[in-house]
Amino acid sequence: MLASPKQLFEKAAEGNYAIGAFNVNNMELTQAIVEAAVLERAPLILQISAGARKYANPVYLKKIIEAAVELNPEIPIVQHLDHGEDFEICKAAVDEGYNSVMIDASRLPFEENIALTKKVADYAHSKAVWVEAELGRLAGVEDWVNVEAREAAFTDSEQAAEFVKKTGCDSLAIAIGTSHGAYKFKGESRLDFERLAEIREKLPKNYPLVLHGASSVPAELVAEAEKYGAKLSGARGVSDEMLAKAAKSGIRKINTDTDLRLAMTAAIRKVFAENPADFDPRKYLGPAREAIRDLVRGKMKTFGCSGKI
């Protein structure tokens, strides 16, 4: 049985930590992430994006997660739709049994974002499903240089309070300096913690805030992948120090996707380079699974959710 998002976030608020939310699109990713949660005794959010649904088929993904839940009943697992772009995909996920969905209408004008988010929240709540929304646009690498662009993209605290009140969304992804992908910053990573504090002040006590685009893009993973032929020059993410501080500053869910891809890619490239005669997928997907497991264990420690079950 899937775990209650509400209960997990209440415990995270009490313990002042963030829950790791990891994107999955195949069996090996899911196995690795769940094994990490077992070893770390950590709550877990398994995320499925629209792209993952197209790649793997929702039925396959649903069954893989059902297997993970059945085999590991001691681990509280939430099944979450990541970045649902319209009402239809959110409704489909709710109807398929997801117990958490994200409606991402941040590309729309403020009032339209409110209207679409409320529509999703009304339907999801009628089925007892948690709803995450997004306000503000994740900044790119230039936004710390161009102050006007940064201010336009980042989440405004007054708007956040109005948005949550009018939509009824259960958690809110905010823009405070992160971005999706492997190329987040030109220099040292920076997050706007002053803005985070302002947003928390305007929202109800312990309201769950979410950090997207939060992969660290570890230098050692980039170096390992490049050693075996990858081209990742300039890849830079959010430092673990920043993520740990965010978790202690009111962020209750931290998304990770890019780092999983890097760990998998580096491990597979290494096997291909060192064992060119191997063609059994288990020979390279096995090491990739181990690499992802080890990465996720480190993330759970950074987020503070290790040992919380």
DSSP string over the chain:
-PPPHHHHHHHHHHHT--EEEEE--SHHHHHHHHHHHHHHT--EEEEEEHHHHHHH-HHHHHHHHHHHHHH-TTS-EEEEEEEE-SHHHHHHHHHHT-SEEEE--TTS-HHHHHHHHHHHHHHHHHTT-EEEEEES----TTTTT-HHHHHHHSPPHHHHHHHHHHH--SEEEE-SS--SSSB--SSS----HHHHHHHHHHSPTT--EEE-S-----HHHHHHHHHTT---TT-B---HHHHHHHHHTTEEEEEE-HHHHHHHHHHHHHHHHH-TT---HHHHHHHHHHHHHHHHHHHHHHHT-TT--
Q: Assess whether pLDDT exceeds 80 at residue 101.
A: yes
> Is it the case that residue 76 has pLDDT exceeding 90?
yes
Mean pLDDT of the chain, nearest integer:
91
Q: How confident is the model at residue 300, as a pLDDT?
A: 98
- What's residue 141's pLDDT? 40
Position 188 scores a pLDDT of 64
CA distance 282 to 252: 35
For the chain, percent of residues with pLDDT exceeding 90 = 80
Q: Flag whether pLDDT at 134 surpasses 70.
A: yes
> Residue 78 falls within a domain, yes or no?
yes
Task: List, in order, residues 6 or more apart from 67 with CB less than 8 Å away.
Answer: none
Structure-token match 């990739």, residue found: 288
In a domain, 308, yes or no: no
Residue 7 corresponds to which amino acid?
Answer: Q
Per-residue pLDDT tens digits for 172-199: 999 998 766 654 545 566 889 999 999 9
What is residue 157's predicted lDDT score, i.e. its pLDDT? 96
pLDDT category, 149, cuts 50, 70, 90? very low
284/297 Cα distance (integer angstroms)? 20
Residue 59 in domain: yes
pLDDT score, position 152: 52
Backbone angles phi, psi at 108, to 5 degrees: -90, 160
Report the CATH number that the domain containing residue 95 is assigned in CATH.
3.20.20.70
Average pLDDT over residues 291-305: 98
Dihedral, CA of residue 154, residue 155, residue 158 and residue 161, to nearest 10: 180
* Burial zone of 301 (CB within 10 Å; 0-12 exposed, 13-18 middle, 19+ buried): middle
Average pLDDT over residues 195-207: 97
The predicted pLDDT at position 179 comes to 67
Could you list the residue range(s) of the whole structural domain that residue 292 is in? Answer: 5-303
Judged against a pLDDT cut of 90, whether residue 241 lies above it is answered with yes
Predicted confidence at residue 186, as pLDDT, reads 53
Residue 135 has pLDDT above 60, yes or no: yes
Pick the closest to residue 211 from 241, 176, 182 (CA basis): 176
Q: How confident is the model at residue 296 (pLDDT cuts 50, 70, 90)?
A: very high
Q: CA 291, CA 289: separation in Å to the nearest integer?
A: 5
pLDDT confidence band for 106 (50 / 70 / 90): very high
Q: Is residue 136 part of a domain?
A: yes
Number of domains in the chain: 1
The mean pLDDT of 226-234, rounded to a whole number, is 85
Residue 47 has pLDDT above 70, yes or no: yes
Cα distance between residue 249 and residue 117, in whole Å: 26
Residue 218 lies in a domain: yes
Q: Is residue 309 part of a domain?
A: no
- Alpha carbon 237 to its chain's center: 14
Entry pTM: 0.92
**Nearest partner of 8 among 174, 208, 299, 246, judged by Cα:** 208
Please, what is the angle between helix 87-96 and helix 110-126, to 10°? 20
pLDDT score of 215: 82
Q: Which of 88-92, 217-221, 278-282, 293-297 has the lowest mean pLDDT?
A: 217-221
266 assigned to some structural domain: yes
Q: pLDDT band at residue 216, thresholds of 50, 70 and 90?
A: confident
Residue 187 is predicted with a pLDDT of 58
pLDDT band at 145 (very low <50, low <70, confident <90, very high): very low
The pLDDT of residue 49 is above 90: yes
Is residue 139 over pLDDT 60? no
Is residue 79 in some structural domain? Answer: yes
Query: Mind telling me the catalytic residues?
Result: 82
pLDDT at 219: 83
